[in-house]
Structure 1
Amino acid sequence: MASFTSLGVGLGGGVDVNAIIKSSVDMARLPITRTTGLTYQATMIDAKISTYGQIKSLVSTLSDAASKLTSVTGWNAVTAASSNKDAVTASAVGGTVASTFSVEVQGLAKAQTTTSQALSKGLPVGAGTLRLQVGKWADSSTFTPADGKTAVDITVGINDTLSDIAGKINGAKAGVTATIVSDASGERLLLRSQSTGEEAGFRMTVTDTDGDDADGSGLSRLMDSATTIYAADAKATVNGIAVTSASNTFTNTVSGVTFNALKETAGPVEITVASDTSKVKENLDAFVKAYNAVNQALNTITAYDKDTKTAGLLQGDSSAVTLQNTLRMALQSVAGGDGKLRTLSDVGISTAKGTDPLRPSGDLAIDSTKFEAALKDPEALKAFFRGADGNTSNGVGTKIKSTIDGLLADGTGFFSSKDKLLKKAKDLNAKDTQAVEDRATRLEASLTARYVALDSQMSKLNALNSYIAQQVTTWNKSSG
């Protein structure tokens, strides 16, 4: 805005032109700045976008919970128990056949270690080349390199200490790690294969620049008098049948079961695989919890508090009410087929009474007694949620999941459509705001130009008036 602080010649010192123009511009910007104007509306749109995003996240969690009620693994959960958890632990994937088998551990998996003789601390070892090769030792003299694993050569300089050599080995990524071990005798180089199991052994050879790789001096000292503990597979028997593993974890040695050897055993350890009905209850609890989280969020943001006379962000929003009603209707789904379990109420899931009988919350609650009774026939309960006779569309869980997935669908779902509408409203708000700002800017420029012109004209008139007054005074003196 042009400054009129020096005005006063034409319009007079008592005219605050800046204030007049600012007042007019502020009036033009009222559609933006008033209490419920465009700025407020933009803030509300952003808040709704954020709120619907949070509700979508809660509904997505509900979808995941419903999936567990319709999936095979959710109903075929099993447990694997060990008679001696200190020696052997076990786990099993859903659907694994119930069974019992015994495990005896004769040996744990080991990594190969090679320890050099003691050398003087901090002194150079000797120049040359170390070659490391990963593979398998059939015995202490027969080594077979691993397929696809090339040997790695490491150059050792004349001034390299044992610590320098260890650093070069670790940096070479040759499948071997190096550590320095210090004792009263000096420093020792400790090499260890990065993995356990017979196939993860290694061989180190030395090419010494002194021309003799076996004289026990220079770099060859690393191999002279070195001690080696060779890599080994874990060894066990399952029902008397010998099995091995490169690690202490035996995967699918018994179909669907993984057991871990922790120590050698003096006798058999019994592993028992059994169905796990507690997983069904856990999945159902998760579903109820997820539904209640969505329901409570919708209750809060659509409520009106008469005492404080405050409304939730989405109070009166028909979309939020539609969403809540859609979810509640999904809970009324009826299972197909001829089973005795037809509705969620039949399995012990119903609307909680709440603290205010006149205003029920709509939250779900589980009647444990009724649910435990339904759980006595797990196949019937499974058919109720997943569908009977292979017809998954008849399952109550499937119907609820289908409704939720429809709400979450990209492009056509409830949340996608609502997000598009809100973002469209935000874009329109931004355009309207810019249009008002443009009008205010034009008005400011126009008023400024008019007042500048008026000031100029008034200055000329004031000058003319002064001239005429002077002439009149002169005439009066002449007449006298």
Structure 2
Amino acid sequence: MSGISSPGVGSGLDIKSIVDALVKAEITPAKDRIDRREASLITELSAIGQVKSTLSKLQVSLIKLGDLKQFNLLKTSISDSNALQATTSSNAIDGHYDIEIIQLAAKQNLASSAFTNSSTPVGQGTLTIEFGTYSNDLSSFSVNSDKAPLVIDIGPGQNSLLAIRDAINNNDSGVQAAIVQDSQGSRLTLSSPATGKSFEMRITVNDSDGNNTNGSGLSTLAYDPTSAVNSMSQTAEAKDSQFKINGLLLTENSNRIENAISGVTLDLKKAQPGTLISLGVEANEAQTTSLIREFVKQFNDAMGTLNNLTSYDPATKKSGALQGDTGIRNLKFALSSMMSDVNQDISSPLKTLADMGIKTTKSGLLEINEDQLAKAVEINYDAIGAFFAKSAKASDSNVKINNIGADVKAGTYALTIDSFNPGVNLSGTIGGLIATSSNGVTLKGSGTLKNLSLDVTGGGVGARGSVTVTDGLAVKFNNLVDQFLNDKGTLVDRSSSLNQQIEKLTEDRERLDYRSQELGKRYLKQFTALDGLLSQMQSTSNFLSQQLANLPQLTLNKR
């Protein structure tokens, strides 16, 4: 104990040891109870952390499995990937296409006449580069209204070939300027900002020498075939890409084709006139199988963790950290029960997980029959997406689902069309909420249905049936897991409660320390008083002994 550092000066008692022993005897049981309780709470908190972690991983797999777009990401097969590449979006549909690449899109390139060197002054004034398309006979130029012209002021000290090159490149027009050295000197070259005929360049000047077309001064950079002002020459012509899809001739100003096939982006790599390239767009069975396998793995990991934490080993008589825990037992039951969920869509060939080769073992884990799963994916690909994900179906055959967000609740929503001029205007209500269209085809909901949109391809105004939104197994499963993991979920509350209890134990420990100090002070005071009393008694004893020792001497003296 602090403040006690020596034995009793009068009695010789080791007061420090006595006081420490008494305090320890009284405090230790309470301290041990706090230590044991704290260790138990920390173990339980760690176990809850493990549960949250494994459920979070399970939830990630459920979110992917519950997104119908994941099942609509079709794959492509191409007979010549050196000439053609393709990617798909969720809007792609199965199909086969024969593609012939006749011509690749190209940029226009221009070159100036030769200058002595790159520092040679060119001229002063204003240089304007417009973008557009020349007619086949070069008699006219149609300006590209989507591309603003590039205007550059060239003043004193900024009129060398180098300075003009840098002035062009420092703008964000996309025109690429360079200086090329050949046997005759330095030439300024220009490359159009993008491929295609609509990005051909017309260059006009406002020359400080007063003559804009004489081929001297700044006029040496003019280019306009429509007026025979061609101080610069064309070294490479702009070209549109030309290609055929199933025999239909198409042209684009780019080699990236985004709208020719719905949901498919084509990248043209090499022209091969007369050669057909086979493009297949088909179900991505490998991706779907991978999503299902990942879900099964994460479910088994979660159940394995729960089984371990709630286990009891009779041989070692050791229990898991959450053995007998009612909340965790309810969680296990809820997860297991979800695996026997039945698909309510009577038209679906898939009613339960067992229909695709996924069964529950005696230990509560999932087991995949790979042959059955492969067969189910091959034969019932679309049904698998609807089984797991959030999906929607319209009762009207002229209404297709364009998009459905994760926040759209399951249910049946009445559809009414108020106005419809295909491709011009479209409006109505979905589930009684206003629905509008920006293109006369896609009807977008509002409010709680803002992420539900429909494509109306025909029919008239008035009541148009209904749209039924269904939550698949993964969506319902994710909702269940979220009840435990969200900010107000039971596991979060549990962790918060445990942390509060641990904090309270810290306060209890502080109070126990204070009590220990006060107890030590009290015992020290008592034993110090005892030491003083013993010292007095020792002095009295010594005095009496001395007096008694003198008694015989007194008797002898009387004789």
| TM-score where L is the length of structure 1 | 0.69
Q: 1:368 aligns with which of 361, 366, 371?
A: 371
Residue in structure 2 matched with residue 195 of structure 1 by the alignment: 194
Asked if 1:241 corresponds to 2:240, the answer is no
Structure 1 contact 234–246 (Cα < 8 Å) conserved: yes
Letter in 2 for 1:136: G
Asked if 1:334 corresponds to 2:342, the answer is yes
Asked if 1:346 corresponds to 2:345, the answer is no
Structure 1 contact 196–232 (Cα < 8 Å) conserved: yes
Percentage of matched positions with identical amino acids: 23
Residue in structure 2 matched with residue 89 of structure 1 by the alignment: 85
Residue in structure 2 matched with residue 108 of structure 1 by the alignment: 104
Q: CA deviation at 1:107?
A: 1.8
Q: CA deviation at 1:136?
A: 0.8
Which stretch shifts more, 153-162 or 264-273? Answer: 153-162
Q: CA deviation at 1:412?
A: 8.9
What are the superposed Cα offsets for residues 202-254 of structure 1, whole Å, 9 maximum, x if unpaired? 44444555655556666555554454534332222334433222321222323
Partners in 2 of 1:32 and 1:121 — Cα distance? Answer: 91
Q: 1:437 aligns with which of 489, 506, 510?
A: 510
Could you say if the C-alpha distance between residues 238 and 308 of structure 1 is closer, same or farther in structure 2, counting changes exceeding 3 Å? same
Residue in structure 1 matched with residue 455 of structure 2 by the alignment: none
Could you say if the C-alpha distance between residues 115 and 77 of structure 1 is closer, same or farther in structure 2, counting changes exceeding 3 Å? same
Letter in 2 for 1:351: T
Could you say if the C-alpha distance between residues 207 and 49 of structure 1 is closer, same or farther in structure 2, counting changes exceeding 3 Å? farther
Partners in 2 of 1:426 and 1:73 — Cα distance? Answer: 39
Structure 2 contact 83–268 (Cα < 8 Å) conserved: yes
- Aligned with 1:332: secondary structure? coil
Could you say if the C-alpha distance between residues 37 and 321 of structure 1 is closer, same or farther in structure 2, counting changes exceeding 3 Å? closer
1:346-425 → structure 2 map (5 Å cutoff): 346-351=355-360, 360=363, 362-369=365-372, 372=375, 375-376=378-379, 398=471, 400-409=473-482, 416-425=489-498
Residue in structure 2 matched with residue 232 of structure 1 by the alignment: 239
Could you say if the C-alpha distance between residues 295 and 144 of structure 1 is closer, same or farther in structure 2, counting changes exceeding 3 Å? same
Flag the structure with higher helix content: 1
- Aligned with 2:496: secondary structure? helix
Q: CA deviation at 1:67?
A: 1.7
Which residues of structure 1 form unaligned runs of 5+? Answer: 353-358, 459-480
Residue in structure 2 matched with residue 322 of structure 1 by the alignment: 330
- Pairwise CA RMSD: 5.8
- Aligned with 1:235: secondary structure? strand
Which stretch shifts more, 413-422 or 321-330? Answer: 413-422
Could you say if the C-alpha distance between residues 367 and 238 of structure 1 is closer, same or farther in structure 2, counting changes exceeding 3 Å? closer
Could you say if the C-alpha distance between residues 311 and 130 of structure 1 is closer, same or farther in structure 2, counting changes exceeding 3 Å? farther
1:33-432 → structure 2 map (5 Å cutoff): 35-36=35-36, 38=38, 40=39, 43-44=42-43, 47-48=46-47, 50-67=49-66, 71=68, 74=71, 78-93=74-89, 98-119=94-115, 123=119, 125=121, 128=124, 131-133=127-129, 135-139=131-135, 142=141, 144-147=143-146, 149=148, 151-155=150-154, 158=157, 162-182=161-181, 187-207=186-206, 209=208, 221-222=220-221, 224-227=231-234, 229-273=236-280, 275-276=282-283, 278-279=285-286, 280-303=288-311, 314-336=322-344, 337=346, 342-351=351-360, 360=363, 362-369=365-372, 372=375, 375-376=378-379, 398=471, 400-409=473-482, 416-432=489-505
Partners in 1 of 2:2 and 2:213 — Cα distance? Answer: 95
Partners in 1 of 2:153 and 2:358 — Cα distance? Answer: 69
Structure 1 contact 62–287 (Cα < 8 Å) conserved: yes
The number of residues matched between the two structures is 465
Partners in 1 of 2:381 and 2:243 — Cα distance? Answer: 36
Partners in 1 of 2:216 and 2:335 — Cα distance? Answer: 81
Structure with bigger RCO (C-alpha 8 Å, 6+ apart): 1
- Aligned with 1:288: secondary structure? helix
Could you say if the C-alpha distance between residues 29 and 145 of structure 1 is closer, same or farther in structure 2, counting changes exceeding 3 Å? farther
Letter in 1 for 2:57: L
Structure 1 contact 100–272 (Cα < 8 Å) conserved: yes
- Aligned with 1:243: secondary structure? strand
Could you say if the C-alpha distance between residues 244 and 316 of structure 1 is closer, same or farther in structure 2, counting changes exceeding 3 Å? farther
Structure 1 contact 52–415 (Cα < 8 Å) conserved: no
- Aligned with 1:136: secondary structure? strand
Structure 2 contact 169–176 (Cα < 8 Å) conserved: yes
